[in-house]
Amino acid sequence: MKIIMLGAPGAGKGTQAKMIADKYNIPHISTGDIFRANIKGGTELGKKAKTYMDQGLLVPDELVVDLVVDRIGQDDAKNGYVLDGFPRTIPQAEALTAALNKIGDKVDFAIDVDVPDSNIIDRMAGRRACVSCGGTYHIKFNPTKVENVCDACGGELILRDDDKPETVQKRLTVYHEQTQPLIDYYTKEQILKSVDGTKDMSEVFQAIVDILGE
């Protein structure tokens, strides 16, 4: 099963993608996580990506597309994957369609986690991310058992630099301009499914399972 997660920053794509990956035994591929790992590792890609991410801007398409096409070609992705944070622009979506086409393949579902902008600022301000495993929590909606310690791996939790309100506002603008058009794109491809992302995490997940099948 090949799945794309769509939705605004903070809509809950990562949260749901992790649950999907566990249930259906497919890798969770997050381009944001890949960039953050590169930043941490001090790679050239990380250095380039950071200048855009810090400003709430998208990393240029040419730095993203090959990386994802390469990643989904790896062995563990043979039976499917859940893409989180990619594609984020029409050219990225077109590049993905073309790359899959070439091998007679296609995406099965594009799931839009729908959350209005008014909910997003709260979600982002309360989000805490694990520096070790990339897991995300929320101080109010999904707290860890021990404050500032990741339940999954014991790593330290931080407020991401780009989750500060000034940057979130910019990211939302960028989302509406560059990423929201993908909803039309995948509607035309007839694989778009929308879920109400304002519900509890478990309810959102149930709605997704209803779409994907048990």
Alpha helices by DSSP H, the chain: 13-24, 31-41, 44-53, 61-72, 90-102, 117-126, 165-174, 181-188, 201-212
28 in contact with ligand ADP (CB under 6 A): no
| Binding-site partner at residue 134 among ligand ADP, Zn ion, none, CB < 5 to 8 Å by type | none
Binding residue (CB under 6 A) for ligand ADP from 20, 72, 112, 127: 127
152 in contact with Zn ion (CB under 5 A): yes
15 in contact with ligand ADP (CB under 6 A): yes
179 in contact with ligand ADP (CB under 6 A): no
3-class secondary-structure state, position 79: coil
Task: Give the nearest residue (CB) to ligand ADP.
Answer: 32
64 in contact with ligand ADP (CB under 6 A): yes
93 in contact with Zn ion (CB under 5 A): no
- For 50-89, letters b (16+ CB in 10 Å) and e give beebeebebbebeebbebbeebbeeeeeeebbbbbbbbbb
- Chain centroid offset of residue 205 CA: 15
Contacts with Zn ion by CB under 5 A: the residue count is 8
Provide, rounded to whole angstroms, the least separation between the CB of residue 112 and ligand ADP: 11
